[in-house]
Structure 1
Amino acid sequence: MELRHLRYFVVVAEELHFTRASQRLGIGQPPLSQQIQQLEQELGSQLFRRLPRGVALTEAGLAFFFDAKAILAQVERATRNVQRIARGDQGAITVGMINSAPFNPRIPRILREFRQRFPQVQLSLTEASTPELAKDVLAGTLDAAFVRPLISDDPGLIVEPLFEEDVLIALPTGHPLTRHKSLSVGQLAREPFVLFSRVIGSGLYDEIIAACTRAGFSPRIEQQASQVTSIVNLVAAGLGVSMVPESMKQINSQGVTYRRIEGEAPRAHMSIVYRENHVSPAVTQLLMLARKLSKEKRAARVSRKPTTEET
């Protein structure tokens, strides 16, 4: 028995007329009659009673009609599901991100638009450091992750740059250097630094160290933290100064003042990492959306009055 037999039978049962059914199906009446006869022979039961004008369902035909419609509906649902999954419109995807990623407006926008465009895709999010996220993507625990540049690219991983942003100097509120509207990196030469280790964020770490080297000093790192948000809080506690991505101003932490950097300044880069031979259409859709939105101009900052810590 083939699906076309079921489709032909259902149309004839709905029309109760072979001529109208053949017109609806776009086939000739004799071939349609032959297909129904083959179906009856295979089932070993008469499905229609022939009448002078049209046909009527037998008791067996009526029972088979409901079953056939249910089978065809299930096939249609299965077909739509496969097509949606193939397009990336359905399924599940697990995405990781570093602690500071959500503070840049572009990352929430990418995720928000992905959910709006693909509401049938189950999107799960997790947070960790760049090395941990890269390891999980390679292991298949995560499908993709928003990360800072890695120390080295592991075979099988693709690290694709998305965008970059300014880096600002973060000072404890009341620090003597806050009287300046902007600062050179060299003015931090005698200050204790709060920073993360190179293993945690090699790209930004290297940018900061290089900036200090160009200014003629090596930073005195007295406190280390695993996340940029923790660095901001340690600066607020007066434990040192730091350089952080501009988007971290959205933390709005009390006790921190941000100043722009004069001259050549570090840049904070954001990338997306995924497996080289991934086969998920949903991941492909996420990558396409991330590439598109990352090329647009920097999203407008949240409109709010400046705090005393920022002035």
Structure 2
Amino acid sequence: MELRYLKYFVTVAQTHHFTRAAEQLGIAQPPLSQQIKKLEQEIGAPLFDRSSRKVELTKVGETFYVDALNILNNVEQAKAKAKQMARGENTEVRIGFATSTAICNQVLSVMRQLREYFPEVNFVGVELPMHKLVEQLKEKQLDIAFKRLPCYACEQLEKRVLFEEPFIAVIPSTNPLAQRKHISLDELSIERLLLFPRETGPALYDEMTSLFTHRGIAINSQYAAPQLRSAVAMSQAGFGIAIVPRSLAEHLDDSARCTEIDDMPLVSQVVVAWEPNNFNHQVRKIIQRISKYQDGHI
């Protein structure tokens, strides 16, 4: 099926008239009618009801019109993007955010400053689980992503560490430990801890469970939270104590308290990651700009 058939079909559908459609297309009316008949033969059903003076779509035609219009629009968008790239004007950069970084103040600060520094760029953001971010980076559906380490799936990606932060305890206000500014890991051995399922973040899950097992701290999978961020919400609801990177507790209300863990050896690194073979010049410029964040010069 040729694209020009779709264009002919859509024009007739929009004008409801073969003669007017032919005038818009710059061709004679008889060849247009012949091309539409060939299209109908290829599909195996009539697309237009020609029984009245005004040409109307059949039920099959109505369905086909939606898809044909989408195809033509996608082709035009693809042509426009290709022309932009040929002129060095590709302005769309697709950014992914791990759920645990999407509301982090430092990440949001980086994005605000990038927006100011690259006003011509159309930043398109999505929030996805860690493994989905990696998949889309490798498939070039995303250009860069803000993620957390450790992450097994990230090993083949290029990464730049933005900052690291300690893990803290988010404790329900009704728990006596919430009145403390500092606690130790041993004090958590008799508490109900909230942890996410391993598939959410295998590397971090393995590090945390190894640490807790070594310190004699039991994890009850009955109280698993689907994400680090939802562990905070569950703690606020009184389900237990969440162990999360400090930035996830930036927006706590009075239902829970943020408490330092003095002997916590684990830290979380927030990184920007990208596929090594992404040669989009705009993406490279943005990565170079982000790399200055550690020096405070972004």
TM-score (norm 1): 0.62
**Contact 1:110 1:289 (8 Å CA) reproduced:** no
For 2:152, the equivalent position in structure 1 comes to 151
Shift of 1:82: 5.7
What is the number of equivalent residue pairs in this alignment? 216
Shift of 1:123: 0.6
- In structure 1, stretches of 5+ residues that fail to align are 1-78, 298-311
Distance in 2 (alpha carbons) for counterparts of 1:193 and 1:160: 31
For 2:279, the equivalent position in structure 1 comes to 279
**Structure 1 residues 242 and 221: CA distance shift in structure 2, 3 A:** farther
Report % sequence identity: 23
**Structure 1 residues 253 and 128: CA distance shift in structure 2, 3 A:** farther
Shift of 1:179: 3.0
Equivalent positions of 1:52-201 (< 5 A) are 85=89, 90-149=90-149, 150-153=151-154, 155=156, 157-201=157-201
For 2:239, the equivalent position in structure 1 comes to 239
Distance in 2 (alpha carbons) for counterparts of 1:197 and 1:294: 32
**Structure 1 residues 83 and 106: CA distance shift in structure 2, 3 A:** farther
**Contact 2:131 2:153 (8 Å CA) reproduced:** no
- In structure 2, stretches of 5+ residues that fail to align are 1-82
For 2:107, the aligned partner's letter is I
Distance in 2 (alpha carbons) for counterparts of 1:136 and 1:218: 35
Shift of 1:219: 2.8
1:125-167 deviation line (CA, Å, top 9, x unaligned): 0001111111111112111111123223465x33443321121
Distance in 1 (alpha carbons) for counterparts of 2:154 and 2:245: 23
For 1:178, the aligned partner's letter is A
Q: Secondary structure at the match of 2:190?
A: coil
TM-score (norm 2): 0.65
Distance in 2 (alpha carbons) for counterparts of 1:199 and 1:80: 40
**Structure 1 residues 213 and 292: CA distance shift in structure 2, 3 A:** farther
Q: Secondary structure at the match of 2:233?
A: helix
For 2:127, the aligned partner's letter is E
Equivalent positions of 1:286-305 (< 5 A) are 286-296=286-296
1:182-241 deviation line (CA, Å, top 9, x unaligned): 110111112222111232223443443344244333433432223222111111111111
Q: Secondary structure at the match of 1:226?
A: coil
Equivalent positions of 1:224-263 (< 5 A) are 224-263=224-263
**Structure 1 residues 152 and 96: CA distance shift in structure 2, 3 A:** closer
For 1:16, the equivalent position in structure 2 comes to none
For 1:174, the aligned partner's letter is T
For 1:151, the aligned partner's letter is Y
Q: Secondary structure at the match of 1:141?
A: coil
The structure with the larger Rg is 1
**Structure 1 residues 210 and 161: CA distance shift in structure 2, 3 A:** farther
Distance in 1 (alpha carbons) for counterparts of 2:116 and 2:174: 44
**Contact 1:148 1:202 (8 Å CA) reproduced:** no
Distance in 2 (alpha carbons) for counterparts of 1:200 and 1:247: 18
**Structure 1 residues 197 and 151: CA distance shift in structure 2, 3 A:** farther
Runs of 4+ in structure 1 displaced over 6 angstroms?
none
Distance in 2 (alpha carbons) for counterparts of 1:80 and 1:146: 26
Equivalent positions of 1:46-57 (< 5 A) are none
Could you say what the CA RMSD is over the residues aligned between the two structures, in angstroms? Answer: 2.7
